[in-house]
Structures are given as C-alpha cells and as structure tokens.
C-alpha cells in the first residue's frame, strides 16, 4: 500500500494541534497558509508505527480533526501518549 506524500507547502504552514508519543513519533494537524485550488486547506502528518494511520489532505477542518483524533487513538495502541496540545495558530 502506498501512503500519500505531503507537499512541501504543508511543512511551511502553521501547526494547529499535535500529539507526541513516548516512542518519539508524532501526529500533527496543520492549516495551510495558502490552500490549494481544489479546496484542500488542512493536512495531517504522522510518524507513528500504526498500520491504520497515514498522512492526508482535507478540505474542511472538521474532516481533518476527525482524522487527527482517529490517528491519535490508533497511535495510543502502539505507544504511550505523552503530550497532546492545541496551539494558538488556528
């Protein structure tokens, strides 16, 4: 299975929310500074070992937040969650 590779633009955009795990992995919810023409304005980036987690691009905050929360729950099955915070970059 091939997982989506996020474009460079994602990593130059503000972080909305993050979750860090004991094994050093993380999950990030990111708001793109400049959304794509197709409407994609949010991204979820992860480095967990969970087979059920993958990077993704989303048009709405609601869908991105749902994916982020699901990935955090799946990530907690692989490692202990040590920090989960929301930033002021919304």
Backbone phi, then psi, for 58, in 5-degree steps?
Answer: -140, 150
Tell me what pLDDT residue 3 has. 63
Residue 3 lies in a domain: no
Residue 29 lies in a domain: yes
User: Does the pTM of the predicted model rise above 0.85?
Assistant: yes
Number of domains present in the structure of the chain = 1
Residue 1 lies in a domain: no
Residue 19 lies in a domain: yes
Supply the DSSP symbol for 4.
P
Residue 2 lies in a domain: no
Q: Give the CA count within 13 Å in the CB-facing half-sphere of 2.
A: 3
More confident of the two residues 88 and 63: 63
Q: By percentage, how much of the chain surpasses pLDDT 70? A: 96
User: What integer is the mean pLDDT of 6-24?
Assistant: 93
Q: Which residue range forms the structural domain that includes residue 72? A: 8-86
């Amino acid at each position: 299975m091939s997982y989506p590779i996020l474009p460079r633009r994602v990593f130059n955009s503000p972080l909305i929310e993050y979750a860090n795990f004991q094994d050093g992995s993380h999950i990030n919810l990111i708001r793109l500074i400049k959304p794509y023409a197709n409407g994609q304005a949010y991204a979820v980036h992860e480095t967990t070992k969970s087979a059920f987690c993958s990077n993704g691009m989303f048009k709405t905050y609601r869908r991105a937040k749902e994916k982020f929360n699901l990935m955090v729950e799946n990530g907690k099955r692989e490692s202990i969650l040590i920090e989960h915070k929301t930033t002021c970059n919304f």
